[in-house]
Chains A and B, each alone.
Chain A
Amino acid sequence: MLVNSSFACSAHYSGNDRLLLYSPCPGSPVKMLSTTLFSLVSSLGLAFGATVTHDFEIGWVKANPDGAFERDAIGINGKWPIPTIEVNKGDRLVVKVVNKLGDRSTSLHFHGLFQNGTSHMDGPSQVTQCGIAPGASFTYNFTVRKAKQGIMHDWPSNKQNRLISRAHTGITLTTRASTQTASEAR
């Protein structure tokens, strides 16, 4: 049995009316955002959501998270774990992806997010889009709705690789959202 244990508890609190897209950072809790502005923005409703823009260069980096073996991993902007995205429900998310892998196509799939009306932005290669060829770029652009948590991960074009590669290769990103309180859901 593989066990990864850490001491003391976690401290990721993220308000009730914010949506966070984040990637894990070793040894540190998810960075908190100023809630004031976001609360104000989200209270104005969907039409007034902010636009959150990111430029992602996807390329090979070295990673050795268990200290046992260094390997190539798919990173963003030269880093793994990948950078953090934080958005509110109702925001427009714009991610310009450039494939710098050199040896394979890629895409970003936004797992767990609703894509009503924007299914062409959902990301799975050969399902809703062609894989982004080496050297090519693709811009994801959609309004974040409803999701509380999700994952963004790469979606290899190769069907067999897809079976077990998924988030594992390192393009992972989690979406956290909530404009709904727990009591509303009951």
Chain B
Amino acid sequence: MTFSDWYHEQMKTLMEAFMAKSNPTGAEPVPDAALMNETQNLQIKVEPGKTYHIRMVNIGAFAGQYVWFEGHKMRIVEVDGVYVKEAEADVVYITAAQRVSVLLTTKNDTDANFAVVGSMDTVSRKPVL
């Protein structure tokens, strides 16, 4: 799965505002949207009670994203191309260009859909004073 930020303006326009003296704190341009697999409202079918190896990457330009699978825990098994000792997590934080693999075992429950959430980090984009 890919996670990404998305700007409506071209980089040239954004850079001019970013580098301008009217932006003395160096506040970075705020993305206009967040994308998952380069789209929104992505739906992926899975089978109940099955373990999936999910390879996730933040292909965004700038913003990190918190990622979680509602109602499920995940087991982190790879970070940035290196397999790691398994670690359980409710949420992973994936910065731009970072890669994380998790094992996710789906519930034995077909009564509901579960949201996959990519929540763009807004805190770390605050101006540096």
Contacts and interface: CB of A to CB of B under 8 A. Distances in A.
Contacts of B69: 9
A8 B113 contact: yes
A149 interface: yes
Contacts of A80: 38
Nearest to B47: A11
Contacts of B40: 4, 6, 65-67
Interface stretch (A32-40, A50-58, A131-139, A177-185): A177-185
B11 A161 contact: yes
SS class of chain A's interface: helix, strand, loop or mixed? loop
B72 A9 contact: yes
Name the interface size band of chain B: 35 or more
B36 to A, nearest CB: 5
A72 B81 contact: no
Given A24-B2, A111-B97, A149-B55, A69 B43 contact: no
B15 A160 contact: yes
Contact of B10 (A7, A71, A167): A71
A27 B28 CA distance: 30
B120 A2 contact: yes
B96 A166 contact: yes
A81 interface: yes
Contacts of A14: 53, 55
B106 A9 contact: yes
Contacts of A160: 15, 19
Contact of A13 (B6, B52, B82): B52
Contact of B36 (A6, A151, A163, A168): A6
B4 interface: yes
Interface in A1-39: 1-14, 23-27, 29
B33 A4 contact: yes
Report which residue of A8, A72, A177 has the largest number of chain B beta carbons within 10 angstroms of its beta carbon: A8
B45 interface: yes
Contact of A153 (B46, B54, B59, B101): B59
Interface in A142-166: 146-151, 153, 156, 160-161, 163-166
Interface in A104-148: 111-112, 146-148
A106 B81 CA distance: 26
Given A112-B80, A164-B28, 19 more contacts: A2-B34, A3-B119, A7-B115, A8-B43, A9-B69, A9-B72, A9-B106, A12-B52, A14-B53, A25-B37, A66-B40, A81-B38, A112-B81, A151-B59, A156-B11, A163-B15, A167-B96, A169-B11, A185-B84
